[in-house]
Amino acid sequence: MPPPRQDFPAFPFAPYPIQSEFMSFLYSALSSGPRALALLESPTGTGKTLSIICSALQWLLDHRDAAPERANGSALAAAGGEDDDEPDWMRDFTPLPPKKGTSKKSETHPWRRQGTRKEGGSEKSGGIGENDGEEFLVDEYESDGEEGTRPHAAGKRAHCGGGAGGSSSSESDDEEEEEEATPKVYFTSRTHSQLSQFVRELKRTDFSGKLRTVCLGSRKSLCINMDVQKLGSASRINERCLELQKNKKSSKIKVEGDNKKGHRTKTSCRCPMLRNRSLQKQFRSEVSDHGALDIEDLAQIGRKIGTCPYYGARDMVRSADLVVLPYQSLLLKSARESLGLNLKNSVVIIDEAHNLADSLTSMYNSKVTSSQVSGYANKLFFTENGVGDLNHGQQHGEGSSITSFQALADFLRSLLYCNDDGRIIVARHKPGGHSEDAYIKFVMLCAEKTFSEVTDDAHAVIMAGGTLQPIEETRLRLFPGLLPSDIKFFSCNHIVPPESILPIAVTCGPSGKKFDFSHSSRSSPTMIEELGRFLCNIVTIVPEGIVMFFSSYDYEKQVYDAWMASGTFSKISKKKHVFREPRSSVDVEMILNKYKEAIQSCCSKGSGDTSVNGALLMAVVGGKISEGINFSDGMGRCVVMVGLPYPSPDDVELMETIKHIGNYSSTSSVAEDDESLSREDECKVEPGFGILRKSGKSGQEYYENLCMKAVNQCIGRAIRHVNDYAAMLLVDSRYSHTSSGRGFSCPVEKLPQWIKTRLTCGQNYGEVHRLLLQFFRTNKQIH
């Protein structure tokens, strides 16, 4: 194997040493394929995304450049291995390779390099451009549903937009068939905002113009049909989109050819954004001219042209070098088949991979609610009582017949999995006025089988994230067949100097009361009151913004209400404007903007010690703000983590996962003389803490890891660049323990290395106050 590459010319500035090490390691991992597997851990704010782009895409170009050399080497090796008895004229004869007309390096844009060919012997350009805005003609043929319901054969382009519009196979054959770019790089992350950030970073490099990039999104993000978009939820939009494609308008017209007469069917999709296929071609052409575009850019171009960007983007996958797409589109087998994604010999890069196993299993869950089991009865009731004319939103709502049938079909399909792969949970309707439906749900527990479908095909799989440890849990859940030595792992410290962060384990409050936010103690009035005293003190010395994380929305509300009643907030408000994380995602951006404006306003006034000096944001672990939000500079001078956010042991799905991971057996405590358990006993739900005690080390480790991964995600929001600085306050005496009374390991052992090495334990509040005062005075002078 050649030595790892050290130079990456596409990096837009001189990289830091850890960035160079990251890129070199990733390049080397890709070169070690096929079926290479690597995990790269780089703290948030260290330029991870840019490092991934510059190393992975450099490898892609180098790999393609070396392809002819590898082919020549193989040919020479084959020739050298011929039988010595073979005649000279046979050995010397080398058939000429077939000429290709696909290399057009003189063209300016990478999308123009693709080869095309016409089928069917026609001299005219095929299908997509010849109708010039008219509705297109197809043979009399009706396909079964959307084109994506069947796997696409490798090597044949799926005309997604055309298929949606009702084209036949013969017309698709007349279209240009694009050369498939191989190998590809697939980059996937959890949210559209993270994918948009990736595209922004890509635009900072030369690869934006050198390589063909396409960004895929959901119908909810890309649909420009306002009648469909206003339905709101993703399931409603998906359902209505497919309905419009299936309900096509058809009419027979006469056609004349060379001494032939006949009839053809004129078919058009009822969605106005897919009726005109020449506009789809125009969309692809305009996207090609712009280079790398994100979801919002694609939607904007689609609106301008008046054609569907969702299917337009899908149609560009085959010829793309880099495909940027959300988790669901890549990791779900049915989605890969629908989109026609070919992972064979390609590179798959999975960002934000710290919770990959849980994300993967949740994609395969299926659920049927009682209102969906009863859908037919409700429809019959409405019809018999003369309420049959439901409005458009109700016809295509969550409880519509198609959605309900799809939910049932998904659930029945789940029953094909092995018994050990998942569990079926039945939840009855809760008494006491709760509106939640009863339901029956399949919960997938086994992640390794579904993930192996990706790793078996890909040339290499790269998992990247800010915090990926513990690696052993990831190995056991995703690729248990591999030895630890088979997994390439990279980890680095942060680019910020050690004096720019101040992590403190805060064990007690100003009055000396020990902080204990365990489930049994956190709601006590004295604990909430002591937390209020602590906050009243630190708002006087922490400048600009403080982000305070609570374990749940319910607990945040409980604390907020108590502080409002006791007058604590009136004291806090003298130094900080107070904001709360909203439950609704649509209000998050508005609250964040107000929080930012409050901080900037205070800083611009140059206020003294007696006036407001910033803002406080009360947030929730696992909420809208704990992941993916940038709290750099004044937005997050201090992050306060209240307690250890362990998941609720009352969560039945979580406990089933823990039992699966810990090889737990609920019958282990049953007496030997019991011949058998009744069916009711087998299905009885055991209390969560009992399961945790009996689940073994691996189950308990998983439970701890869920908690500490959430902590790491929250406190990692504050440091975003080399000149940033922030304090991180872990408020709970358990952060200072060397081990837990229940046999759990020390929580701080699972903190990121760059935080753990700087962690200080404050034995009393006076020490914490002194450390904070000194930290902010020093950094104010430096910065």
The amino acid at residue 178 is E
Lowest-confidence pick of 3-7, 449-453, 707-711, 721-725: 3-7
CA–CA distance, 345 with 342 (Å, rounded to integer): 9
Bigger pLDDT: 686 or 461? 461
* Predicted pLDDT at 566: 94
Please write the tens of the pLDDT for every residue from 609-658: 458 899 999 999 988 887 767 788 899 999 999 999 999 888 888 998 88
Q: Give the long-range contacts of residues 663-671, CB within 8 A, separation 24 or more.
A: 663/696, 663/698, 663/699, 664/691, 664/694, 664/695, 664/696, 664/699, 668/694, 669/694
pLDDT at 117 exceeding the cut of 60: no
pTM above 0.85, yes or no: no
User: Higher pLDDT residue, 153 or 542?
Assistant: 542
pLDDT tens-digit map of 277-297: 899 999 999 999 988 999 999
Answer yes or no: is pLDDT of 154 > 70.
no
Report the chain's mean pLDDT, rounded to a whole number. 79
For residues 624 and 717, give the distance between their C-alpha atoms in angstroms, rounded to a whole number: 13
pLDDT at 695 over 90: no
Q: Provide the token pair at 258.
A: 């060379």
Q: Report the SS3 class of residue 473.
A: helix
Query: Residue 603 has which token pair?
Result: 């800083």
What tokens does 235 get?
A: 């399931």
Amino acid sitting at position 183: P
Quick one: pLDDT at residue 33?
78
**8 Å CB contact between 263 and 138:** no
Cis amide prior to 309 (ω within 30 degrees): no
H/E element, 198: helix 192-203
Q: Which of the residue ranges 228-232, 301-305, 679-683 has the most confident prediction, judged by mean pLDDT? A: 301-305
Residue 325: phi, psi to the nearest 5?
-155, 155
Report for 234-248, 296-310, 374-388: range of highest mean pLDDT: 296-310
Residue 761 to residue 35: CA distance in whole angstroms: 44
What integer pLDDT is reported at residue 729 of this predicted model?
97
Confidence bin at 681 (pLDDT 50/70/90): very low
pLDDT at 558 > cutoff 90: yes
Task: Band the pLDDT of 150: cuts 50, 70, 90.
Answer: very low
Residue 467 CB partners (closer than 8 Å, separation 6+): 41, 43, 354, 709, 712, 713, 716, 752
Q: Work out the pLDDT band at 525, boundaries 50, 70, 90.
A: very high
Grade residue 171 by pLDDT with cuts at 50, 70 and 90: very low
SS3 annotation, 553-607: HHHHHHHHHHHHHHCHHHHHCCCEEEEECCCCHHHHHHHHHHHHHHHHHHHHHCC
Using alpha carbons, select from 403, 439, 477 the residue that is nearest to residue 652: 439
The rounded radius of gyration (Å) of the Cα atoms in the chain is 30
Which strands make up the sheet holding 501-506, listed edge to edge?
Answer: 576-580, 614-620, 544-550, 638-642, 726-731, 501-506, 760-762
Distance of alpha carbon 172 from the chain centroid: 33
**Residue 120 pLDDT greater than 80, yes or no:** no
More confident: 743 or 328:
328
Residue-level pLDDT at 486: 87
CA neighbor of 158 nearest in space, from 138, 177, 134: 177
Residue 638: strand pairing partners: 546, 727
Q: How far apart are CA 250 and CA 329, in angstroms?
A: 32
Q: Residue 601 pLDDT > 90, yes or no?
A: no
Higher model confidence: residue 143 or residue 783? 783
What is the per-residue pLDDT for 14? 93
Residue indicated by tokens 């299905």: 683
Q: Is 521 helix (H, G, I), strand (E, B) or coil?
A: coil
Is 94 a residue whose pLDDT tops 50?
A: no
Q: Identify the bridge partners of residue 731 per DSSP, sorted by sequence position.
A: 506, 642
For residue 662, report the phi and psi dihedrals to the nearest 5 degrees: -90, 10
671 HSE (CA, 13 A, CB side): 2
Instruction: Tell me if 115 sits within 8 A of 178, measured CB to CB.
Output: yes
